[in-house]
Structure 1
Amino acid sequence: MIKSDSASTTRHSQTINKSVSSHLNSARRPLIAHSIPGISPWLIPLGYFIGRYIILPSFFRQIKITGLENIPKSGPVILAPTHRSRWDSLVLPYAAGRHLTGRDMRFMVTIDECQGLQGWFILRMGGFPVNTQRPAIATLRHTIELMQQGEMLVIYPEGDIHRDGQVHLLKPGIARLALNAESKYPGLGIKVIPVSIQYSESYPHWGADVNIRIDEPIKVTDYLNGNFKLEAKRLTADLTHQLKQLSQESGVRRNIEPENSSPASPPSPCYTSTTSRVQSNYQFPVIKFAHIQGSVVNNL
């Protein structure tokens, strides 16, 4: 009888230890990403239509697009645009969305913005959340899955908005994420495409001009031959160089020129959309689009 009680006590103690261990391990794990609902088949075309034919034509005088031919019709793509205004998230689909490339964009968005009605709208328009302070492994794996599916992602490498027209220090996350995905799943053929967005005003107002320049793709496979960290730095440096060149060649005359800026070169031949000048009272919601730090990517 005593032996039976002792065995029962031992089993009970082991059960408690397993439970405690499970809770501790759960606490150590990164924050799990919110479940990502399916994209709405009707909301995306409606959103594109409203943005392209109502909001943007009512606000901007002219939108110039150069280099559209540099976006592949298929295969995994990461658009890496400069971040100049909250308008970027509407201007990008206008410049390279489904009506011109046949492709939708999947924006990486900060998790705080994916709450409430705004979050419902963003997620069903193809956005997906990431906690920039503690990126969940699940979110980064989802990002790689999107690339495996041949999607076109949008990640702002500068992170925050910079209104001085200069290219600021890029975060290493894009390079490390792309290299990690390409090395783990050979043959994906991921391309990182630099995109420069320049407005004629630091704070775009009604009647402002926009110039979007899309550069030639950077092939991630060209950076798989050496040390991972060094190649990630090299990819980031090349992306920085191309973004700076695009920004200098934008051809947009800004009312407030940044200090020590070089004269803009004449713009290349481009697709130009001259929008109607009907004043709009539309106020674009403040949405923070995400960048990712590089350290967590290595844990995938």
Structure 2
Amino acid sequence: MYSVLHAVVPPVAKLVWRPTVTGLDNVPRTGAVLLASNHLSFADSLVIPIVAPRKVHFLAKSDYFRGGGIKGRLQKAWFEGMGMLPVDRDDPRAAIASLDTALEVLGRGDAFGLYPEGTRSRDGRLYRGRTGVAHLALTAGVPVVPVGITGTEKLQPVDARFPRVVPVSISFGEPIQVVGRYDGVPLGKARRQITDEIMTAIQALTSQEEAGIYNERAPDA
């Protein structure tokens, strides 16, 4: 399903929206890698796979995979075909399950995308990164490619049923290597330093104002 959708969706999307994409050469074509992005819209998890030079797995609400009837089956096929993996965000163990899923993907040598902020920014600022991204990078021993997205908050606002044609930019930064760089550093400190380095790289790509605090999930997000 992925090969079918990827042969059709990216060319059409690029023709309609004409996104500005830079730094594609920074994404390794093979091998396990994390793509860590800022998060402005639900559409981010579709935009990155559309423009990336390889398949990128993202997590999506399990609700999208449970619908009934023809619409539900088509929706499930769409999300699975785009490389999405279900996660129950209302489950108290969702955070641990998400990390386990990511490690499974990386263990297969695939690419996994995530948002260190945890949830989308509702005011356009860049929030402090949570250290799960560093945990994955250190545990799997993989590089992290910072990704900066701009414009997707206007592509499909929360109250919009359909995407709008607006300028969107996606920038892939140079991979951040973690293996061997933090030997001897206490694990908690290493995770914090790596995460801050990733967020600094993302900010350099987006020029977003830094909030300096963690972002909290809205009740309806």
Into which bin does the TM-score normalised by the smaller protein fall? 0.7 to 0.9
Taking structure 2 as the reference length, the TM-score comes to 0.76
Match of 2:213 in 1: none
SS in 1 for 2:154: coil
Partner of residue 78, structure 2: 121
Partner of 2:4: 46
The within-5 A match list for 1:132-143 is 132=89, 133-135=92-94, 140-143=99-102
Deviation at 1:77, TM superposition (A): 0.6
Q: Aligned-pair distance for 1:172? A: 1.9
CA distance in 2, matches of 1:129, 1:166: 27
Structure-to-structure mapping, 1:110-259, within 5 angstroms: 110-116=61-67, 117=72, 118-132=75-89, 133-135=92-94, 140-182=99-141, 190-199=142-151, 202-204=153-155, 206-221=164-179, 222-248=181-207
Shift of 1:166: 2.4
SS in 2 for 1:78: strand
Change (3 A) 1:135 1:223: farther
8 Å Cα contact 2:19/2:168 also seen in 1: yes
TM-score (norm 1): 0.58
| Distance change >3 Å, CA 45–CA 248, structure 1 → 2 | same
Deviates more, 1:156-165 or 1:239-248: 156-165
1:242 maps to a residue whose letter is: A
Residue of 8, 15, 25 corresponding to 1:57: 15
Per-residue deviation at 1:53?
Answer: 2.8
Please list every run of 5 or more consecutive structure 2 residues that lacks an aligned counterpart in the other structure. 156-162, 211-220
Residue 69 of structure 1 corresponds to 25
Distance 1:136 1:246, change over 3 A: closer
CA 1:107/1:202 → structure 2, altered by over 3 Å: closer, same or farther? closer
Q: How does 1:69-108 map to 2 (within 5 A)?
A: 69-96=25-52, 101=53, 103-108=54-59
The 2-side partners of 1:245 and 1:77 are apart by: 20
**2: distance between equivalents of 1:145 and 1:178?**
13
Q: State the shift of 1:138 in Å.
A: 5.8
Structure 1: 5+ residue runs without aligned partners? 1-42, 183-189, 250-257, 260-287, 289-300
Contact in 2 for aligned 1:166/1:244 (Cα 8 Å): no
CA RMSD of aligned residues (A): 2.7
Q: Measure how far apart 1:104 and its partner are.
A: 0.9
Matched pairs, number = 196
Change (3 A) 1:175 1:95: same
Q: Name the aligned partner's letter for residue 240 of structure 1.
A: M
Question: Quick one: distance in 2 between partners of 1:217 and 1:77?
Answer: 9
In 1, Cα distance between equivalents of 2:26 and 2:59: 22
- Aligned partner of 2:215 in structure 1 is none
Identity of aligned residues (%): 31
Contact 1:84 1:165 survives alignment (8 Å): yes
- Structure 2 partner of 1:271: none
Provide closer, same or farther for how the CA distance between residues 244 and 139 of structure 1 changes in structure 2, counting only shifts above 3 A: closer
Contact persistence 2:36–2:113 (CA under 8 A) = yes
Distance in 1, Cα, partners of 2:119 & 2:189 = 25
Q: Which residue of 2 aligns with 1:285?
A: none
* Amino acid aligned to 1:86: F
State the shift of 1:227 in Å. Answer: 0.9
Offset, 1:72: 1.0
Contact 1:198 1:247 in 2 (8 A): yes
Larger radius of gyration: 1
Alignment check: 8 A CA contact 1:195 1:213 kept:
yes
